[in-house]
Amino acid sequence: MQAQLSGVYLYCSNQLNAMKKSIILTMGFILIISFARAQLLKTFMPSPAFGDSLSQVIFDFKHNYIHIQGESLPPDGDAELFKSKTKIPGAEQCVIYRFHSYEDSTASFQAIMYRGESYKEAAKIYRNTFRQVNKMQINSDKLTSGFLGKMEDPTEDLRFTSSTLKLATKDKIYKDFVAEVEMVNSFDGWEVHLNLHNKKNDADQ
């Protein structure tokens, strides 16, 4: 009888240990999946700082970027050039272009997101910048909207790649407003730009 009880106890003990191991493994698997999902969302979702800075620029487009305009820089051709008081996180430089055009007097904001010799790094930042703009949502009393667009994949053979995202809003001021992510290959290496400006359709020009 005692031997039978010992056998039952040993069996139950083994089963309990097996269940404990199974629960630990399941919990570990769930934790790994949750961590991987969080990292994936972190990779593709815009950071709060990125969204806040971009929103400031977009809001000030209504005022032709006058409130975020900083000190003047040497002109770029026929365009006046100014530093931007608002900087996009990760950008090396943020500037405002003012063109002397009779057709369109709106200014243009440009953030230089990368400048260097590495194609792989430029392509990575190009894609990440597009995704951050594409995923961001603007929710305020000033504007509720987001960007829509399709990314053009860069290749090392192309000297210029551009993806355009349209601001999805019925506000007439933003009728032609777009975010353009550019990847440019010059003699000095690669550059990635984020441009925020008006861009009319070919049919409207």
Q: pLDDT by residue (tens digit) across 71-108?
A: 999 998 889 999 999 999 999 999 999 987 777 778 99
Residues 77 and 178 in one domain: yes
Tell whether 17 and 52 lie within a shared domain.
no
Give 22's pLDDT tier (boundaries 50, 70, 90).
Answer: low
Q: Which helix (H) or strand (E) holds 56?
A: helix 48-60
How many whole angstroms separate alpha carbon 173 and alpha carbon 22? 60
- Same-domain status, 132 and 73: yes
Q: In terms of domains, do 21 and 63 share one? A: no
Q: Are residues 82 and 98 in the same domain?
A: yes
Buried b (16+ CB within 10 A) or exposed e, 168-177: ebeeeebebb
**Could you tell me if 55 and 32 lie in one domain?**
no
Verify that 62 and 152 share a domain, yes or no: yes
Whether the model pTM is above 0.85 = no
Residues 40 and 59 grouped into a single domain: no
Overall average pLDDT of the 18-37 stretch: 57
How many domains does the chain fold into? 2
Is-contact 162 181, C-beta < 8 A?
yes
Do 136 and 114 share a domain, yes or no? yes
Let me know whether 5 and 59 are in one domain. Answer: no
Mean pLDDT of the 31-53 span:
58
Owning domain of residue 19:
1-44
Do 15 and 61 fall into the same domain? no
Q: Over pLDDT 90: what percentage of the chain?
A: 58
Instruction: Say whether both 134 and 144 belong to one domain.
Output: yes
Nearest to 42 by CA among 122, 135, 181: 135
Question: What does the pLDDT read at residue 185?
Answer: 95
Q: What is the pLDDT of residue 12?
A: 57
Distances in Å between the alpha carbon of 34 and those of 23, 30, 48, 63, 131? 16, 6, 21, 43, 22
Distances in Å between the alpha carbon of 199 and those of 2, 100, 105, 166?
88, 16, 12, 9
